[in-house]
A and B are shown apart, each in its own frame.
Chain A
Amino acid sequence: AAVKAYELRNKNKAELLKTLDEQKQELASLRVQKVAGGSASKLHQIGLARKNIARTLTVINQTQREQLRLFYQKKKYIPLDLRVKKTRAMRRALTPFEKKLKTQKQQKKENHFPLRKYAVKA
């Protein structure tokens, strides 16, 4: 019995948690049957049950984080795990705005002595 993720996404959080609990109970009972010497089909269900639990948890976490990102969209400070990850160095690097800043001296030079292009007449 493999539950489908797209069916899970229609449920709300309370229902999802309930299904998660049920799936865990199912897995627990299967483990018990394994110890009591279950049939091969029952033992096969253990793998399926574990993946079902994983699927439910994935759906729960995915929808949760999606909703949180919407919530924090307009805010200034957002939680660290919702921020962009990249690498540590890249996060500390200069922003594009900061990189393009020039001193007034340099601006003047560039204005007065821009790069000239010449063409040679054949």
Chain B
Amino acid sequence: MDYITNRRKYNSTMTNFPNLLASKAAAAKKAALKGVHGKSVRKVRTSAHFHLPKTLRLSRKPKYARKSVPHLPRMDQYRVVRNPLNTETAMKKIEEHNTLTFIVDVKANKHQIKDAVKRLYDVEALKVNTLIRPDGKKKAYVRLTADVDALDVANKVKTYGLIYMSGRRERKNCMNIRYI
């Protein structure tokens, strides 16, 4: 309190200085004991509907792992692709449509097949078509990208034995499939 501007008030407060301090202390004590939540205020509800309030969500901190060690990948490339097909129609697909045909695990999907073929043969698949044969196995037609020749891939893997082509047009005499 500034003495010059408010002489009277200053004098009155200052004469009662010890009492003033005591009362201030008493007020502070009372406020501390009462706490901040003394007054109950009604919440302001801006909507007529009651929606789920947002509560605290803790993340998991497990005391122990439920499974001691995670399993090795179950659907690895060797499980997905079983064996390639070397039937006549499969051969035709290789030459004409640049696709490889595989027998594939029944539980494999097209993404897995594409990935597996990439890992096994190092080729990119343009698209994969699948069907389930009457004998319960899954067949996959894997069309390769244009920059790769399916015939090369097949030979490299010695997939279909060694394929000799002499004259593309005639089916029967053109291919000598030598068995290993």
Q: Mark B40-72, 1 if CB is under 8 A from A, else 0.
A: 000000000000000000000001111111001
Cβ of B120 within 8 Å of any chain A Cβ, yes or no, is yes
Whether a CB of chain A sits under 8 angstroms from the CB of B85 is yes
A25 at the interface (CB under 8 A from B): yes
The interface-forming segment of A77-85, A89-97, A110-118 is: A77-85
Q: Which residue of A lies closest to B159 (CB)?
A: A32
**Does more than half of chain A's interface fall in helix, strand or loop, or is it mixed?**
helix
Check A35 against B85 for contact (C-beta < 8 Å): yes
CB atoms of A32 and B78 under 8 A apart: no
Residues of B within 8 A of A82 (CB): 68
Flag if A65 contacts B86 (CB, 8 Å): no
CA distance A75 to B68 in the complex (A): 13
Task: Give the complex CA separation of A34 and B158 in angstroms.
Answer: 12
* Inter-subunit contact B64/A79 (CB<8 Å): yes
List residues of A (16-39) whose CB comes within 8 Å of B's CBs. Answer: 24-25, 27-29, 31-38
- Complex Cα spacing A34 to B72, Å: 27
A77 contacts B63, CB within 8 Å? yes
CA distance A66 to B79 in the complex (A): 27
Q: Are A31 and B68 in contact (CB under 8 A)?
A: no
With A33-B180, A38-B180 as contacts: A24 and B78 at CB distance below 8 Å: yes
Query: Is A64 interfacial (CB-CB < 8 Å)?
Result: yes
Instruction: Out of B64, B66, B67, B83, name the residue touching A32 (CB < 8 Å).
Output: B83
Q: How would you classify the secondary structure of chain B's contact residues: helix, strand, loop or mixed?
A: loop
User: Given the complex of chains A and B, what is the CA–CA distance between A36 and B85 in angstroms?
Assistant: 9
The answer on a CB contact under 8 Å between A28 and B120 is yes
Chain B residues within 8 Å of chain A by Cβ, number? 25
Alpha-carbon distance between A38 and B81 when the two chains are bound, in angstroms: 19
With A31-B82, A33-B180, A36-B161 as contacts: A64 and B64 at CB distance below 8 Å: no
Indicate if the CB atoms of B120 and A32 lie closer than 8 Å.
no
Contact of B69 among A29, A68, A75 (CB under 8 A): A68
Closest to A81 in B: B68
Which one of B64, B159, B180 contacts A78 once the chains associate, using CB atoms below 8 Å? Answer: B64
A79 → chain B closest CB, angstroms: 4
B68 pairs with A65, CB closer than 8 A: yes
Q: Mark B149-178, 1 if CB is under 8 A from A, else 0.
A: 000000001111100000000000000010
Known: A37-B161, A77-B64, A79-B64. A31 touches B83 (CB 8 A): yes
The 6 closest A-B pairs by CB, nearest first: A77-B64, A79-B68, A37-B179, A24-B78, A31-B83, A36-B161
Residue numbers of A with Cβ under 8 A of B are 24-25, 27-29, 31-38, 57, 64-65, 68, 72, 75, 77-82
Identify 14 residue pairs between A and B in the complex whose beta-carbon atoms are under 8 Å apart, listed by A's number.
A28-B78, A34-B83, A35-B84, A36-B158, A36-B160, A36-B161, A36-B177, A36-B179, A37-B179, A75-B64, A77-B63, A78-B64, A80-B67, A81-B67
